[in-house]
């Protein structure tokens, strides 16, 4: 499809304008980065996988009553979405301890977190997306108190939908990151939900089925992304 004006280019996606100012097109690239872009690479056809998985998961969430920015999948790498002002907070939900949580608190790798843990990170590349508290959010005026409560509630609700969906596919939803926009006071789920923004462990084997394969040089990148696509769309 013919591209509109490039509005924004991030590490994994480009966002293009459409004739309707309330809609944009997200274009999913194969570029992969980790550790605040200190590590760079590409994963063949990752953009196709992440676009298709995100579309499927946004549809699932919409069916369950969650408001998302998703409108339609236009092509293998393009998704039409609502044009939202993104709240500059990354909301992370964790069902198991791993990653930065283990580094920060010294918890046992894989420890079950019940109830799931919600964390907020400041979406700010120059600072390396630091962990922030609700007081920091207030100080930085990133969101008001009602929005913070809404983010937490929405993230846990989404976890309650996604965790059983993935379990049915033989995958443990270990943790994931969400971003939201605000439209006239309503929180709307935005960005993407994919193996770039979630951690999945195979329930049978414990095999890592996500971007940790890239972060930790575990190999079999393309094959793993294709495997997740196959399971999500089965
Ligand atoms: P973390 O353990 O590195 O804090 O990651 C928590 C979750 O957030 C994990 O599912 C990966 C995801 N994530 C992103 O989507 N983007 C990021 O920049 C980072 C650091 C993590």
The model's pLDDT over 51-97, given as tens digits with 9 standing for 90+, comes to: 999 999 999 999 999 999 999 999 999 999 999 999 999 999 999 99
b/e per residue 92-128 (b: at least 16 CB within 10 A): bbbbbbbbebeeeeeeeeeeeeeebebbbbbbeeeee
Q: Is CATH 3.30.470.20 correct for 85-219? A: yes
Which of 11, 120, 175 maximizes ligand 1 atoms within 8 Å of its Cβ, making it the mutation to test the pocket?
175
Within 8 A by CB and 6+ apart from 71, the residues are 23, 79, 80, 81, 82
The domain segmentation of the chain, as residue ranges, is 6-82, 85-219
Q: What is the DSSP letter of 127?
A: G
Average pLDDT of the residues of the chain: 97
Q: Is the pLDDT assigned to residue 192 strictly greater than 70?
A: yes
Confirm if 138 and 145 have CB atoms less than 8 A apart.
Answer: yes
Q: Residue 45, by phi and psi: left (phi above 0), alpha (psi -120 to 50) or beta?
A: left
Q: Which atom of ligand 1 is nearest to the CA of 198?
A: 10
Residue closest to 154 by CA, chosen among 119, 178, 173: 178
| pLDDT at position 131 | 98
Task: Check whether 182 has a pLDDT greater than 60.
Answer: yes
Query: Is 234 in a helix, a strand, or coil?
Result: coil
Specify the residue with its C-alpha closest to ligand 1, atom 13: 197
Model confidence band, residue 2 (pLDDT cutoffs 50, 70, 90)? low
Task: Give the CA distances from residue 194 to residues 106, 108, 133, 134, 135, in Å, rounded to whole numbers and listed in that order.
Answer: 27, 25, 26, 26, 30
Instruction: Determine contact, residues 64/204, Cβ cutoff 8 Å.
Output: no
Q: What does the alpha-carbon distance between residue 178 and residue 20 come to, in Å, rounded to a whole number? A: 25
Fold match between domain 6-82 and domain 85-219: no
Fold observed for domain 6-82 = Phosphorylase Kinase; domain 1 (3.30.200)
162's enclosing H/E stretch is: helix 145-167
Choosing from 13, 36, 88, 99 the residue with most ligand 1 atoms within 8 A of its CB, the one to mutate for a pocket test is 99
């Amino acid at each position: 499809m013919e591209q509109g004006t490039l509005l924004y280019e991030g590490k994994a996606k480009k966002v293009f304008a459409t004739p309707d100012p309330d809609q944009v097109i997200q274009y999913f690239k194969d570029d992969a980065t980790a550790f605040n872009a200190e590590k760079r690479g590409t994963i063949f056809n990752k953009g196709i996988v992440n676009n298709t998985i995100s579309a499927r998961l946004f549809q699932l969430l919409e069916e369950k009553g969650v408001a998302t920015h998703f409108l339609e999948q236009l092509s293998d790498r393009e998704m039409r979405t609502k044009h939202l002002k993104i709240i500059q907070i990354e909301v992370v939900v964790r069902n198991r301890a791993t990653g930065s949580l283990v580094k920060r608190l010294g918890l046992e790798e894989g420890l079950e977190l019940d109830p799931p843990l919600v964390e907020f990170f400041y979406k700010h590349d120059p600072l390396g997306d630091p962990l922030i508290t609700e007081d920091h959010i207030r100080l930085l005026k990133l969101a008001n108190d009602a929005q913070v409560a809404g983010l937490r509630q929405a993230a846990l609700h989404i976890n309650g939908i996604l965790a059983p969906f993935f379990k049915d596919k033989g995958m443990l939803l270990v943790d994931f990151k969400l971003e939201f926009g605000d439209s006239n006071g309503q929180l709307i789920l935005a960005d993407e939900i994919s193996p770039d923004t979630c951690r999945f462990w195979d329930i049978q084997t414990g095999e890592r089925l996500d971007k940790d394969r890239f972060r930790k040089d575990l190999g079999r990148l393309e094959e793993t992304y294709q495997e997740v696509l196959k399971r999500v769309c089965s």
